[in-house]
Amino acid sequence: MEKLVELSEQEVRIDFTLNCKCRANVRLRSLTATTPIAFKVQTSSPEKFMVNPPTGLISPLSYATFQVILKPQNHFPTTYPRSPSDNFLVKTSRFFPDSSDSTRPFSITSWFLSIPNCSTEDYKLKVVFVGPMLLHHAVSRGDCGSAKNLIKKQKSIMAELSQRESEALIRVATELANPESMVNLLLEAGLKIEARVQLDNVNYKVDSERISKGWEKLHVAAAFDRTEEVLEFVKMKKARSLDCRDNDGRTPLHVAVGKGNIKCARVLVELGADKDARSRDGRTALHRAAVNGDRRMVEMLIEMGADPTIANDRGCTPLDIARDKGHKKVSEILERGDLVITAARKGDLENLQWLLQKGATIKHRDEYGFTALHAAAIEGHKDVVQKLIESGSDFESQDREGHTPLHLAVVAGSLETVEVLVNEGADINVNTKFRATPLHMATILGYDDIAEFLISRGGFSSL
């Protein structure tokens, strides 16, 4: 069965707070262009959770959002971040209303009961509890495993803590019977430096790391994602160089990227740090992001001009490393296919031209079968569509449901984009897998100007 919807999240992430309602949103995106999609959300723990709305309809190629609400809880979850006993089931199906009995009030819940189970496409969502309160709870119990998993699941948690929360967290850690493991965990995760000023053992940790690794102060700031400190160093000219080296030849940018500190890495690049600086083993910052499978970091570095073709001392490029590690998404980014699709979708002609000049592929498809031409067409970016066609894009390529770029230009309601595609020779009567021609879709969607144009060029409807 073809996928009907795309979920914005593969889990329901709840920022947990005691005795308060906690909410999380999940967005559903319809992947079909011809029929509405009905959805129904069920929970394994109705005594704890509410869903609003629990049912609904999604228009073709549109969106719907439902909210998961955790009722106020007076105790902490027994396990976190993953909650093994709490799950959600999202049932979806193409919606074909039964018009045989118009006297009965319509109900999506009743409609789902009337259709066979085999006709639904179901998605299971796990529940994950995160947030500062749970981190503080884990630290106070000395539970390094839960604290580590929370930090891994919510990478931004340290950056989001206030100074007071950070100070409270490190003080609780230092009061444990055996504080070293927990303190080191929090430091390595990037706890803010201000929270450590008064703590001798913590300062010793930072100082010893600086000495053993040959770090400058800028390396330390980069390691703990201290962007304000980086800016201050540069402004006051306290940093000897943005590209100062440690014992392994790593610059502060290497360190920030290796730690996953994307905010600080971006600031360093914007200030003029060498994006392609090589450490002693020949690795660039992009190599380190590829090793970690850090998709967002790789995207940022590529967008800011990092060179993905540089090889390390073993002759491996970042793409080679990503492939070897099995980081599929990162590999696709390094091939620049995803970036081309993103530029096309945004209508960013300048960036698209730069990517094409760098040899980016226009044949890449996303998980739904969309090419860059599909992405530009469904947004009605006629200039981008024209550029992609001139660059050799296949305007007869079909996505997983059989839509060509012409079908999607019709869905966008963009007559100009439709005209570009037809004038370039696109098949005007091509069918989707559900036997819908462009004219059929224009008629269904009420785009009279597009329908008239298609008819004038010999289009016919599959109605």
pLDDT of 315 above 80 = yes
Close Cβ partners of 1 (under 8 Å, ≥ 6 residues apart): 121
pLDDT of 360 above 90 = no
- Kindly state which CATH superfamily the domain 5-130 is placed in: Immunoglobulins (2.60.40.10)
Give the model's confidence band at 173: pLDDT under 50 very low, under 70 low, under 90 confident, else very high: confident
pTM: predicted TM-score of the whole model, two decimal places: 0.47
Least confident piece of the model among 35-39, 156-160, 263-267, 334-338: 334-338
Percent of the chain whose predicted confidence (pLDDT) is above 90: 55
d(Cα 310, Cα 336) in Å, to the nearest integer? 15
Name the residue with higher pLDDT: 345 or 361: 345
Give the pLDDT confidence score for residue 196 in this predicted structure. Answer: 44
Give the pLDDT confidence score for residue 239 in this predicted structure. Answer: 57
Name the residue with higher pLDDT: 106 or 456: 456
d(Cα 13, Cα 157) in Å, to the nearest integer? 13
Q: Do 5-130 and 343-456 come out as alike in CATH topology? A: no
Contact 147, 32 (CB under 8 A): no
Name the residue with higher pLDDT: 100 or 34: 34
Domain assignments of the chain as residue spans, ordered by start: 5-130, 343-456
The mean pLDDT value for 59-66 works out to 93
Label the pairing between strands 82-94 and 37-43: antiparallel
pLDDT tens for 99-157 read 555 555 568 888 898 888 778 999 999 999 999 999 999 999 999 999 999 999 998 88
pLDDT tens for 318-330 read 888 998 999 988 8
Q: E strands, 18-81, where?
A: 22-30, 37-43, 49-52, 55-58, 63-70
Give the model's confidence band at 251: pLDDT under 50 very low, under 70 low, under 90 confident, else very high: very high
Average pLDDT, the chain: 87
Give the model's confidence band at 197: pLDDT under 50 very low, under 70 low, under 90 confident, else very high: very low
pLDDT of 192 above 70 = no
- Reported as type and span, the H/E element at residue 82 is strand 82-94
d(Cα 192, Cα 185) in Å, to the nearest integer? 13
Contact 244, 217 (CB under 8 A): no
Label the pairing between strands 121-130 and 11-15: parallel
pLDDT of 359 above 80 = no
Give the model's confidence band at 26: pLDDT under 50 very low, under 70 low, under 90 confident, else very high: very high
Topology of the domain comprising 343-456: 1.25.40
Give the pLDDT confidence score for residue 204 in this predicted structure. Answer: 45
